[in-house]
Chain A
Amino acid sequence: MITLKNVSFSYDEKQALSNLSLTIRKNDYLMVLGRNGSGKSTFLKLLNGLLLPMAGDVRVENLSTRLHGEEIRQKVGMVFQNPDDQLVASIVREDIAFGLENLGVPLDEMQRRIAAILSKMGIAHLSEQNVNTLSYGQKQLVALCGVLVMQPSCIVFDEPTTMLDPLNRKNVMDMIIRLHTEGNTIVHATNDPREARRGATAALILDRGRAGFHGHAGKVTPSLLRRFGLNA
């Protein structure tokens, strides 16, 4: 579904990713591990065309991110670490509608999809709430709704549980696993290997912008994690 071929990216002088090549297949659950500054966020942003590779090519369903940015952002949704940065409207219902408005979805269809996604996530009662009054856990679910309502086939999560308490962390993780079992492709960057290991089918460990390990999630052992300076 997503192919990276010899991808490199740098911020000014600092090399963030070097010569990375891998394939994410349809319905994979790829956990992306790595220490701070290892290139996880850069890798994720390359997947939906928020960043374009300086060398190499990123293709989503055979479309290059260089040429089909908007089309790709419909296919690859992204949930960020801090939900406060992702919610752009003041009212929950209006925030979820934001992506659909941009895609030009007709009003009836928009209302139907929003009602369905709110009900699926169990937050229909928050529909008319001001987003500033929500807890972090609720905000993260609203942010997820805003992405899912656009019906992407792949969802990229950039450390989505970092700012949450244990209960909300579990809720969001349950939802990610449920989305995977429903047939979505998941890419999940995290600092906590235990968290993603629950549902992951594949793993990528980034180390100073390079793929230190890429393979089956079951092969991620404590000793492997320690080798890359990660908490086992």
Chain B
Amino acid sequence: MPRFIGEYTYKDTLLHNLAPQAKILMVVFASALLFLMEFSKLAFILIILCIAAKSAGIAIWKLGALIRPFLALYAMILIFYFIFSPEKMAEGLLTVFRFIILIMVSHVLLATTSISALVRGFESLAWPVKAFGASPRTISFMLSLTIRFIPVLFLEADTIHQAQRSRCSQRRKLRSVSLLVASVVQNTSARAAAVADAVASRCYRTKGTTSINSCRAEAKDWAIAAGTLAVMGFLLWYG
């Protein structure tokens, strides 16, 4: 996961500067369209994706390198096809190809959008939740806190684990695992209370707030997103 999430670096490119909400919608709809496409059209999309990645300063080999971590998943898909419907192996390969492109699309999104911009993007797209009495700012803040504290919790779990090992606890024993989980849960709830105090002391509220990250999508952002999806749609139906 950190391989994906940690890879964002700012560059002054069209994709980097595209509004996050436009990128999120584009990825969501493009992912749906990908699952309706055949080999030749997917190959065309892959070429366009490589050009887009190159223009955003992402090395093409990095896109290729994304295949490796998921090899087991692809192998599993192909094995299932081989066992249950060997006559449809071509369809299995197509599914794997779709997954590969989907992962590459996600990578391009995450490599060109900071986590905070993504969260802001989700926040501005989450306005329908207001109808259910929820606050988009609270939802995005919870997302942002989760992302912030995931590495901290891993670090904490590692520290507790090392403390256990230093007292000759064996990693695989069920008891030491349950003790590890119990300690992490206990520390997490103590930490949650401390974070709540810190948040309250900095005047957290959901209304009348401003934002350091301007997240306004302009007409050009929507035009680029709509144009990309239109090309994909055209390719799907008339290509």
Contacts and interface: CB of A to CB of B under 8 A. Distances in A.
B214 A102 contact: no
A60 interface: no
Interface centre among B116, B145, B151, B203 (most CB of A within 10 A): B203
Contacts of A45: 197
A94 interface: yes
B148 A86 contact: no
Interface string A75-91: 00110101011111111
Interface string A84-123: 1111111101100111111111110011001000000000
Interface residues of A, number: 41
Chain A interface, DSSP helix/strand/loop, else mixed: helix
B68 interface: no
Given A70-B205, A99-B203, A103-B203, A88 B212 contact: no
A147 B203 CA distance: 11
Contacts of A74: 203
Given A48-B201, A87-B148, A88-B199, A104 B208 contact: yes
B114 to A, nearest CB: 7
A131 B155 CA distance: 14
B40 interface: no
B185 interface: no
B189 interface: no
Q: Label chain B's interface by main secondary structure.
A: helix
B195 A85 contact: yes
A95 B21 CA distance: 22
A97 B200 CA distance: 15
A90 B116 contact: yes
B144 interface: yes
Interface of B: 6, 10, 114-116, 141, 144-145, 147-148, 151-152, 191, 194-195, 197-205, 208-214
Interface of A: 45, 48, 50, 70, 73-74, 77-78, 80, 82, 84-91, 93-94, 97-107, 110-111, 114, 128, 130-132, 146-147, 150
